[in-house]
Structure 1
Amino acid sequence: MTNFMFISGLATKMLPTDYVGFTFFVGSMAMMAAAAFFFLSLSQFDKKWRTSVLVSGLITFIAAVHYFYMRDYWETFGESPTFFRYIDWVLTVPLMALEFYLILKVAGAKQSLLWKMILYSVVMLVAGYIGEVIAPDSAAFWGFVSGAAYFLIVYEIWLGEAAKLAVAAGGEIQKAHNILCWFILVGWAIYPIGYMMGTTGWYSSFMPEGNIDVVYNIGDAINKIGFGLVIYTLAVKSSQDYIPKV
């Protein structure tokens, strides 16, 4: 039996070997399911943790909406939906940076940490978009700028102010912070690899070219949903004595 997908009122065939299209489908549904889970669980938490869980829901909801668009774009044109992907990232990545600030507020985190993390993330994404879409002839330079901003984020959460605040907070907050740090260091590493595979520069001699939308899609789901589940677990453990109002 042939499977069809409707796009703008037209039925188009999805091939069984279309792994990119398949992961766009799975990604969109997984993100939406995660958003519903986070939103519906808000009432069980102590008030001070609800914002963190709400932001996790917003991250996955925004990603789900963009994945529906990216899925349709891929099926219509057979091209990587770079534009929609960067719109997704420029909204969700700063929100992921916000999560660090929210969980560290109990240890005295100041808004300067928040704005610094958001600034680094925006620079990382804008530079990446310029190098990949607007000025591909200068992709190596813009990739360097984007990479530098990424490593500033890594430094901040592993060795900088955020790391010190996590140590001061201790307990479950420090554990959650450390797990989120690994998401940034390992999970986010797929994005500069994808950037180098999709552009040309000094790295082209050893970095193969190719479409890595499958890896992007899987990486997005793991990073965004996993990020939210870490926050959710922290909120659960920190709200064990909280009695929801009926």
Structure 2
Amino acid sequence: MDVYDTPTIELQTMPLGLYDVVQLALLGAGFALLAYFLYSLISMNEVSARYRPSAYAAVCLAAVAALAYALLYSDWDSGFRLQGEVWVPTEEARNSVGTRYIDWSITVPLLTVELLAVCSIAGARARNLRFTTMGAAWLMIVTGYFGSQVIADGRDRTALVVWGLISTVFFVYLAVALIGAVRASLPTMGTEAAASLRNATIVLFSSFGIYPLIYAIPVFVDVTPAWLTAIQVGYSATDVVAKVGFGVLIHKVAKLRTAEDVAAGTDTHPEPVWSSHVHKSDGVLPEVGRMSSSVVSRLRGDAGGGEVHHEG
């Protein structure tokens, strides 16, 4: 069968029940991401300045994802018209998957920033790793977009496979680079922080593994309304796990590492650090007015010179 004789994946005539399931999945994921945005914004100062880039990335990520789901809900709501007992798609329904790639092209690179910000990699190595992993994450999404949305509107199975494999190359680099950074960081932190970082990494890459499985559905089956529902619900649920579940665990790592630094005397934090209702460290304010010995000596010399001048 010619590729153009097959229906565009997103342009399915939806029964009432399946249409409602997708709508509820989009709404539920959107609310979860909005709640995570507010949580990230409010809890940002719970971690020290050393780990706050992770919190900044989380706030930006959650804001973009929540806005994307507002657009997805609007696309779905306005992309169909009710005719009798079914919802008939219009061309606007095409955006119900395409908008996701715009979201992912921004939020997936930010996920790498979140993870690296709580690792122990520093200096030029950290900058290089952040640059290359963000680039690999972006290319992973863009190449997948070509197969899913650009080539023959996602109906060409060969294009889906080829561009999916190209996307996988960037995924493999991403996995090797990020897991390497995590493994190098684990010995430098406490047992609880290390366990949380390990769990966060497992959540991230487990969810990353779900996306290609959903992407590959049109390769193996002719997409029906039921399969489109599975695609939309699967993407929505995985987005919540990859962004909210991972983000909450990373925030816990940042708090635990903040407490470790305060306890070791290498950093300060103005408020006590609590995690899972357990007190981890006291609030320690930075010393105000503390001056180095060279500054004190210079000031004393200036004061002495003033006294001599006055006596003369």
Does the pair score TM above 0.5?
yes
Deviation at 1:243, TM superposition (A): 2.1
RMSD over aligned CA atoms reads 2.4
Secondary structure of 1:118's partner? helix
When Rg is computed on C-alpha atoms for both structures, the one with the higher figure is 2
Q: Which amino acid is 1:103 matched to?
A: V
AA in 2 matched with 1:129: Y
* Displacement after TM superposition at 1:175 (Å): 2.9
Q: Tell me the equivalent position of 1:26.
A: 28
After TM superposition, the score normalised by the length of structure 2 is 0.66
The letter of the residue matching 2:138 is V
Query: Is the Cα contact below 8 Å between 1:89 and 1:125 reproduced in 2?
Result: yes
Counterparts of residues 45-124 of structure 1 (less than 5 Å): 45-78=47-80, 79=93, 81-105=96-120, 109-124=125-140
Return the offset for 1:105. 4.2
How many angstroms does 1:32 deviate by? 0.7
Shift of 1:232: 1.4
Amino acid at match of 1:94: P
Residues 107 and 174 from structure 1, CA distance in 2 versus in 1: closer, same or farther, beyond 3 angstroms? farther
Distance 1:150 1:173 in 2: 26
Return the alpha-carbon distance in structure 1 between the equivalents of residues 141 and 185 of structure 2: 26
Gaps of 5+ in 1: 1-14
Where has structure 1 moved over 4 Å in runs of 4 or more? 105-109
Instruction: Kindly provide the CA deviation profile for residues 35-69 of structure 1, in whole angstroms up to 9, marking residues without a partner as x.
Output: 11110112232222222112112211110000000
Q: Does the aligned pair in 1 maintain the 2:54–2:117 contact within 8 Å? A: yes
* Identity of matched residues, %: 23
Alpha-carbon deviation of 1:107?
Answer: 5.7
- Structure 2 residue runs of 5 or longer lacking an equivalent are 1-15, 81-92, 263-268, 272-282, 286-312
Please give the alpha-carbon distance, in whole angstroms, between the structure 2 residues aligned to 1:33 and 1:197.
31
CA contact (8 A) 1:104 1:173 kept: no
Deviation per CA, 1:82-128: give whole Å up to 9, x if none. Answer: 22100100000000011222112466652111112112111111110
Instruction: Tell me, in whole angstroms, the C-alpha distance in 1 between the residues paired with 2:59 and 2:36.
Output: 7
Instruction: Tell me how far 1:208 sits from its aligned partner.
Output: 6.8
TM-score by length of 1: 0.82
2:175 corresponds to: 154
